[in-house]
Amino acid sequence: MHNLISPHGSDELKPLYVEDAGARKSLLQAAESMPSITISSAAAGNAVMLGGGYFTPLNGFMNKASALSVGASMQTTDGLFWPTPVLNLVADAGNIKPGDQIALKDPNVDGAPVLAVQNVEAIESFSASEIDTLCQQTFGTTDTDHPGVAEFIAQGNTLISGPLQVLNYSYFETDFPDTFRTAVQIRNEISALGWKRIVAFQTRNPMHRAHEELCHMAMQRLNADGLVIHMLLGKLKPGDIPADVRDAAIRKMIELYFPKNTALVNGYGFDMLYAGPREALLHAVFRQNMGATHFIIGRDHAGVGDYYGAFEAQEIFDKLPAGALEIELFKADHTAYSKKLNKVVMMREAPDHSKEDFVLLSGTAVREMLSEGTAPPEEFSRPEVAKILMDYYRS
């Protein structure tokens, strides 16, 4: 472990999962007589990330002052760099009061079992204008057509803050046993492989050839020992490809097109925020926590619609105070197959090309091809990967 990059703001990871089975069992029993509340999917995702050590060094849900401070200056009231509020927002806290120990129930699992136990330090409310301000700061917009904004506003404006003890990893561990990994587990895997320079790649989609080549390019240029393809396993917007299909497609690509023991495929339990630049920073924080030294950020990272400029998610890193993050960026442009050069290139590195020189297909066009059972051209998608996607669309 000691050779790896330090976790964010800490010498060691701080997973909030209760590791000891006996302690976990007695907490679960105690939880039965605690006041309980079913939390939002967003809060459940935060709990899972806190549980797995991804949100080191946070010890639970932020209070109002920290949330507003993170919105305004990307720092908690303790001065820790943090890009997005990590909250337990509810519509109504009922009779819960500071000093209570409460059971947080999981909205994403049948029967809403207890996901975590929280020690309540404060119960506070945001005004409508504070919610607006936080949306503007986090998402760059207050437009309720933005899926992240809509989700944030839907949770309610009462925040329950305080430290957390996490009792399970929700549906992520049961639905994705081969893929879901905590930051602790990924650090251990990287250590066991002896990797020193590790590139992380974020994805919420299947990977086409351009993504695959981008990973090869980054590894080569950074002289990296290994790649961690780290996929989001939580909730997406309608029309996105489900995680199990995405997972199968990515594993097939790694198996066939990457040398053995150079790439790990795993995932984390969190819902997409679609917060563009701020989410890119959050992605970097938790990739550092899982042990990556470098992180690929391409065009419109974590974006949605036309809310963000193509390279805003890269530019925000240039404005950070010194020492905010240890992880380094690999800044990528859009990659595409060049008919002139017969290989995938970064578009900005081919200034003599026109649009016609690239194999470019819109997401919509690709989806149509796949659902009609037509494989996209090999320059765009590996046939073995396309087959998995075609089978999904045709079912």
pLDDT tens digits for range 124-166:
999 999 999 999 999 999 999 999 999 999 999 999 999 999 9
Answer yes or no: do 169 and 189 share one domain: no
What's the confidence (pLDDT) of residue 334?
87
Q: What is the mean pLDDT of residues 377-387?
A: 93
Q: Is the pLDDT reported for residue 365 higher than 90?
A: no
Q: Is residue 12 part of a domain?
A: no
Q: Is residue 15 part of a domain?
A: no
Domain end: 122, 153, 173, which one? 173
Percent of the chain residues topping a pLDDT of 90: 89
Answer yes or no: do 142 and 273 share one domain: no
Domain end: 147, 173, 199, which one? 173
Answer yes or no: do 270 and 136 share one domain: no
Beta-bridge partner residues of 198: 226
For the chain, the average pLDDT equals: 95
Answer yes or no: do 126 and 255 share one domain: no
Answer yes or no: do 244 and 212 share one domain: yes
Side chain identity, residue 201? F
For 93-108, how does the pLDDT look when each residue is reduced to its tens digit (9 = 90+)? 999 999 999 999 999 9
Q: Is the pLDDT reported for residue 257 higher than 50?
A: yes
Q: Is the pLDDT reported for residue 366 higher than 90?
A: no
Confidence of residue 2 (pLDDT cuts 50, 70, 90): low
Answer yes or no: do 141 and 78 share one domain: yes
Of 239-243, 247-251, 295-299, give the lowest mean pLDDT range.
Answer: 239-243
Mark residue 344 as left, alpha or beta (left: phi above 0; alpha: psi -120 to 50; beta: remaining): beta
Both structure tokens of 310: 């193509």
Answer yes or no: do 223 and 88 share one domain: no
Q: Is residue 38 part of a domain?
A: yes
Side chain identity, residue 166? V
Answer yes or no: do 210 and 356 share one domain: yes
Answer yes or no: do 201 and 349 share one domain: yes
Cis (ω within 30 of 0) for the bond into 321?
Answer: no
Q: What is the C-alpha to C-alpha distance for residues 328 and 284, in angstroms, rounded to an integer?
A: 8
Confidence of residue 372 (pLDDT cuts 50, 70, 90): very high
Percent of the chain residues topping a pLDDT of 70: 99
The torsion angle over the Cα atoms of residues 115, 121, 123 and 128, rounded to 10 degrees, is -90
Of the candidates 293, 295, 289, 292, the one whose C-alpha atom is nearest the C-alpha of residue 203 is 295
For 162-211, how does the pLDDT look when each residue is reduced to its tens digit (9 = 90+)? 999 999 999 999 999 999 999 999 999 999 999 999 999 999 888 989 99
Confidence of residue 37 (pLDDT cuts 50, 70, 90): very high
Answer yes or no: do 329 and 350 share one domain: yes
Q: Is residue 7 part of a domain?
A: no
Question: b/e for 156-195, b at 16 or more Cβ within 10 A?
Answer: ebbbbbbebbbbbbbbbbeebeebbbbbbebbebbeeeeb
**Number of domains, the chain:** 2
Q: What is the mean pLDDT of residues 356-376?
A: 89
CATH of the domain at 195: 3.40.50.620
Q: What is the C-alpha to C-alpha distance for residues 178 and 253, in angstroms, rounded to an integer?
A: 16
Q: What is the mean pLDDT of residues 49-61?
A: 98
Q: Is the pLDDT reported for residue 358 higher than 50?
A: yes
Q: Is residue 6 part of a domain?
A: no
What's the confidence (pLDDT) of residue 253?
96
Confidence of residue 309 (pLDDT cuts 50, 70, 90): very high
Answer yes or no: do 186 and 288 share one domain: yes
Q: What is the mean pLDDT of residues 296-321?
A: 94
CATH of the domain at 103: 3.10.400.10
The torsion angle over the Cα atoms of residues 237, 311, 213 and 342, rounded to 10 degrees, is 120
The residue range of the domain holding 216 is: 178-394
Who's near 216: CB < 8 A, 6+ residues apart? 258
Q: Is the pLDDT reported for residue 1 higher than 50?
A: no
Domain end: 115, 141, 173, which one? 173
Answer yes or no: do 251 and 307 share one domain: yes
By annotation, the residues acting in catalysis are: 204-205
Q: Is residue 1 part of a domain?
A: no
Q: Is residue 319 part of a domain?
A: yes
Q: Is residue 305 part of a domain?
A: yes
